[in-house]
Structure 1
Amino acid sequence: MAVFAMSNLNAQEYRITKGGVTDSLPIPGEPDETYALYTPRDYTPDKEWPIIFTFDPLGRGNKTASLFRLGAENQKYLIASSNIDLKAKPIDSIIKIATAMMNGVLQTLPIDASQVYTAGMGEGAQVSSALAHIYRNMAGVMAIGNSFINQAYIDKNNPYMFIGLAGKKDYMIYEIEDYVRFYDDMDFPTDVYYFDGKENEWPSAQVVSNAMTGFTLEAIKSGKRKSDPVFIQNLFENEMAYAETLRRTREYYSAYEKLDRMGEKYEDFKFEDVIDDKKKEIKGSSGYRSQRNNFKQAISFEREQQREYEHLLKADIMTANFQNIGWWAYQVDELEKLKTGGGDAKSNMAYRLLGYLDFVSKREFDNIVNSKDPIDIKIFVSVLRTAINKNDPEAYLKIISLASADGDQETALLYLEDLLKTGFTDMDALYNIEGALDLVFTREYNELIKKYLGESKFFN
């Protein structure tokens, strides 16, 4: 691979690999913060380039830049991918570091200021969306699984493209659709993509590349990029190939919906007849109608179920209705079964409902355990969490803490064993539970730990 030298604002020189990812480049003014950079194989400093700044929740800059590599190489983008751990820092600090990264790159590399984009997943999608409120010349945002809007900072006279992506198993799929509708109402250019994935997952490189064509085609339409018929034809054929893959794997409804969105996306480039012919072919497939009906039925049921879950969960928490814990566990078990035995539409719905239950119960848990609510409410919401998410150690530890403080060692020991059955092995956490000092010195407590972990701190 060819390399070239890049000097940052502090006159430090770094060797950058063309056609590859160069990691751990320092962010000016932010000690210990870095980013990864991808440049296409034909990169030259003699021209200005479009750029996408990407944000992963865990700061996996190298991996994220590599994910965008396919689209960046084919569509000629630079990718600057943050190594900021978004889960470990407050939002004001994150925005400060992200802004410093953007400014450093924009002042160091030959960037086309009219083609600056951001992209992110989960918390990274929120950061990428927020940056559009700060950088007034933003050309587009790609938000995967989440987003952020502050209407006070959105300028209707300075629109940017919003591309929403959501996993078919992600309960945030409807939130993404709401964000797209918001931007549609603002008359901003939009696009939406669905992929086979859950919350907190990136789509495949092919899906990312297809989504990037939204930025590219919009830039061509607005005159920011040269209109090259051969280049546009290649973009179109790549997306058609993806739709054909869906058809060949008998995902007829997904293929049809993909083509339907392509019709809008490519409407200015005279591909209508090709798309319409393929849509007619798919619509005539034997499985299309049943898949469409199953999808619509699942969506209708799911939305009603979400509303019911939210209402019942809050009612049970308010009354600390321990008798209904079994009902919630039953709901989870039934959804788990549906994940593998209900067909694609119902399976995806089950994943989304489980994700939604996990999200709502965790939200209520976090609010209540840190509040001044009575101890029975706190114990109930903690027990409820273990019924909905059997692998959440925080809920088990909280029950042990609360039960011990309340003098109920039997309940504390019961949930200690349930926690250990999940495979929990953090010995330090087990011996540093708030309010459980007397319990951890008991023989029963230590014998349970030794039974599952092979050793204990006391009574060995």
Structure 2
Amino acid sequence: MDKAWPLLVVFDTKGNEEKALSMFMLAAEREGYVLAAPKLLDSISLTKNMVIAGQAIHKVTSLLPIQNSRIYAAGQDSGGQFASLVPVLIKGVNGVMSIEASLANREVLNNKYSFHFVGIVNKENFNYPFILTDAKLLDNYKFPNQVLLYDGDGNWPSVSYIQKGMQLFTLDAMGRNWIPKDSAYVEKAYQEDLDKVNQLKSIGDLLWAEQYMTEMMSIYSVFKNMDSLRSVQKELRRNKDFKVMKRAENAAFLKESMLKEDYNYYMEEDVYTHNFNNLGWWKHQMGEIDKFVSGTKIFEKQMGHRLKGYVNALAEDNIHLVSSDEVVDEDALVFLYMLKTILEPDNYEFYLKTISLSAKNDDFGTSLFYLEELLKNGFKDKEKLYSLENTALFRITPEFNKVVSKYLKDARYDIKLDEN
């Protein structure tokens, strides 16, 4: 209590604020940040959640010695998007750490109210191209920003990336004279980043190395002369292998952009017209995406992962939109549930939803087909199956119990029909 501390407010819009907070704890301990996580509710409006966020920040700053110029917002996915709105709508928040999430709304940016943006993203995440676009926009607005890339297929980066994000906030605060400059801290961080660049060059990831140098210059130029690093970057850009990689990545970005336009157009059309006949086309598209993912061209492989994530997010957004209508279009909803079984064949949730909604509308043929597909994919929870909403009549049909007996041994009901 005898010194002031920076505050990082972590946002989660899905009710997992304690889990989200825990992901930042080790990095916060190392970098000296106070953490807080308000309880947001997905059942209330953005405005009300923003009021909750503002009240939480006010409460923490009234209880603890927080540096007023060093209050930051953070979050992952939808929590990251919410966090990107916080400095725009709540006075006194000066930075955002957004994990796997692009800016929520580019239209609300105002260069009179700038904030420091740190984006952390996997190259295989569908938000990667969007975050790169955000960084260019923020450059135009003269907002300080850095993008940290990481490998792997997890949704969360390792602790070192979270710590690096906090470190960037601290370095920025030193550069602005909000806190005293610590030369040893700056030099240690700089050497760590230089080692990272050399490591990336040694494994042949020249694009990442070049991008990392750009971020280094944006943060360290206020502390030291960057001419030597700038020369290394220029030399790297003239490298033949670098140019080949850059062209290949740009070609992948272009192909990805065109495919996303197609997916967006056809999903909107199919949902509006209830075009169940086009489910075969979607299945073919997923096969094409899988070819990218299993291919040998690294940039197309990354593109394949991003496209898979994009189509899934698009379908989930449409499910949310249709479900939240005052009068729910159940044909559109069941189409989307069927589509999700194609996009995520190992996710049992959408087979069950398709069975339930089809049975509700007495479409037992469709329910039976998706029941068998569900059981073929290894679903074993008989209790869940027999308590599935809207399926009371469907469950007592001979066809239902025959399929259940085939895959799960014993059916609950043994129905015999009188031939007369």
TM category, shorter: 0.7 to 0.9
Task: After TM superposition, give the deviation of residue 352 of structure 1 in Å.
Answer: 0.8
- Matched residues in 2 for 1:84 and 1:428: separation? 33
1:267-311 deviation per Cα after TM superposition (whole angstroms, max 9, x unaligned): 223342331343256446664232212111100111111111211
Counting only pairs closer than 5 Å after superposition, residues 359-438 of structure 1 correspond to structure 2 as 359-368=313-322, 377-438=332-393
- Contact conserved, 1:61 with 1:83, CA < 8 A, in 2? no
Match of 1:349 among 303, 318, 325: 303
- Matched residues in 1 for 2:39 and 2:143: separation? 29
Corresponding residue for 1:9?
A: none
1:414–1:318 Cα change, 3 Å: same
- Contact conserved, 2:249 with 2:299, CA < 8 A, in 1? yes
Corresponding residue for 1:68?
A: 27
- Matched residues in 1 for 2:383 and 2:40: separation? 24
1:448–1:86 Cα change, 3 Å: farther
1:458–1:247 Cα change, 3 Å: farther
User: Secondary structure of the residue that 1:390 maps to in structure 2?
Assistant: coil
Corresponding residue for 2:204?
A: 250
- Matched residues in 1 for 2:37 and 2:323: separation? 34
Structure 1 position 196 matched with structure 2 position 160: no
Counting only pairs closer than 5 Å after superposition, residues 94-109 of structure 1 correspond to structure 2 as 94-95=49-50, 97-109=52-64
Counting only pairs closer than 5 Å after superposition, residues 9-408 of structure 1 correspond to structure 2 as 45-56=1-12, 58-59=16-17, 60-61=19-20, 63-69=22-28, 73=30, 76-82=31-37, 84=39, 94-95=49-50, 97-146=52-101, 147-149=103-105, 156-197=111-152, 201-280=155-234, 282-283=236-237, 287-368=241-322, 377-408=332-363
1:46–1:378 Cα change, 3 Å: closer
- Contact conserved, 2:341 with 2:350, CA < 8 A, in 1? yes
- Matched residues in 1 for 2:189 and 2:385: separation? 55
- Matched residues in 2 for 1:47 and 1:384: separation? 55
- Between 85-94 and 51-60, report the one with greater CA deviation: 85-94
- Contact conserved, 1:404 with 1:412, CA < 8 A, in 2? yes
Task: After TM superposition, give the deviation of residue 52 of structure 1 in Å.
Answer: 1.8
User: Secondary structure of the residue that 1:269 maps to in structure 2?
Assistant: coil
- Matched residues in 1 for 2:41 and 2:128: separation? 21
1:135-191 deviation per Cα after TM superposition (whole angstroms, max 9, x unaligned): 411121111222434866x66444321222222111122333444344444433222
1:200-243 deviation per Cα after TM superposition (whole angstroms, max 9, x unaligned): 82222222233333322221221102123332111111112222
Task: After TM superposition, give the deviation of residue 98 of structure 1 in Å.
Answer: 4.1
- Matched residues in 2 for 1:405 and 1:180: separation? 48
- Matched residues in 1 for 2:91 and 2:323: separation? 41
Aligned partner letter, 1:63:
S
- Contact conserved, 1:365 with 1:385, CA < 8 A, in 2? no
Q: C-alpha root-mean-square deviation of aligned residues, in Å?
A: 3.1
Indicate the percent of aligned positions where both proteins have the same amino acid. 26
- Matched residues in 2 for 1:283 and 1:184: separation? 21
1:121–1:406 Cα change, 3 Å: closer
Corresponding residue for 2:418?
A: none
- Contact conserved, 1:386 with 1:392, CA < 8 A, in 2? yes
- Matched residues in 1 for 2:302 and 2:388: separation? 38
User: Secondary structure of the residue that 1:68 maps to in structure 2?
Assistant: helix
1:450–1:90 Cα change, 3 Å: farther
Aligned partner letter, 2:11:
F
- Matched residues in 2 for 1:79 and 1:246: separation? 32
User: Secondary structure of the residue that 1:54 maps to in structure 2?
Assistant: strand
1:406–1:50 Cα change, 3 Å: closer
Question: TM-score, with normalisation over the residues of structure 2?
Answer: 0.85
Question: TM-score, with normalisation over the residues of structure 1?
Answer: 0.78
- Matched residues in 1 for 2:395 and 2:45: separation? 34
Aligned partner letter, 2:342:
A
- Between 279-288 and 441-450, report the one with greater CA deviation: 279-288
User: Secondary structure of the residue that 2:222 maps to in structure 1?
Assistant: helix
1:428–1:218 Cα change, 3 Å: same
User: Secondary structure of the residue that 2:2 maps to in structure 1?
Assistant: coil
Task: After TM superposition, give the deviation of residue 68 of structure 1 in Å.
Answer: 2.2
1:429–1:165 Cα change, 3 Å: same
Aligned partner letter, 1:347:
K
- Contact conserved, 1:400 with 1:412, CA < 8 A, in 2? yes
- Matched residues in 1 for 2:173 and 2:316: separation? 41
- Between 444-453 and 348-357, report the one with greater CA deviation: 444-453
- Matched residues in 1 for 2:277 and 2:106: separation? 42
- Matched residues in 1 for 2:383 and 2:323: separation? 21
Q: How many residues align?
A: 410
Q: Indicate the structure with greater strand content.
A: 1
User: Secondary structure of the residue that 1:399 maps to in structure 2?
Assistant: helix
- Between 184-193 and 216-225, report the one with greater CA deviation: 184-193
- Matched residues in 2 for 1:318 and 1:140: separation? 40
- Matched residues in 1 for 2:70 and 2:352: separation? 49
1:330-374 deviation per Cα after TM superposition (whole angstroms, max 9, x unaligned): 211221232132332111110111111111122233434666577
- Contact conserved, 2:21 with 2:35, CA < 8 A, in 1? no
